[in-house]
Amino acid sequence: MRKRRFSVEQMIGVLKQAQVGVPVAEVIRKAGISEQTFYRWKAKYAGLEVDEVRKMAQLQEENLRLKQLVAELTLDKTMLQDVLSKKW
């Protein structure tokens, strides 16, 4: 996975600059990002604080781990059912 160029704090800082009235063109020029990147960040992080974003990322990671665990257990269950259904 590629390392992020901007931290969560920096992303939210850029969004807050635009929120307080600095023109978007000036904000993206100073940050060195594209307009598309700015609006993608805005769609994802608008109105959130840094701790909320970190909590969201933590929950997404936990959700991924739990989904993988469910998939493994489902596979185990299916294999055991196949073994039990066969006549010896």
Tens-binned pLDDT, residue by residue, of the chain (88 aa): 566 689 988 999 999 999 999 999 999 999 999 999 999 999 988 888 889 988 999 999 999 999 999 999 999 999 999 999 986 6
Other CB atoms within 10 Å distance of the CB of residue 24 = 14
Structural domain boundaries enclosing 55: 49-88
Q: 73 and 53 share a domain?
A: yes
Residue 62 and residue 86 share a domain: yes
Same domain flag for 79 and 61: yes
User: 70 with 38, same domain?
Assistant: no
Q: Which DSSP string do the residues of 31-67 spell out, in sequence order? A: HT--HHHHHHHHHHHTT--HHHHHHHHHHHHHHHHHH
Q: What is the pLDDT of residue 58?
A: 95
Residues 58 and 87 in one domain: yes
pLDDT at residue 87, rounded to an integer: 66
Q: Answer yes or no: do 54 and 73 share one domain.
A: yes
Do 38 and 60 fall into the same domain? no
Name the pTM for this structure: 0.62
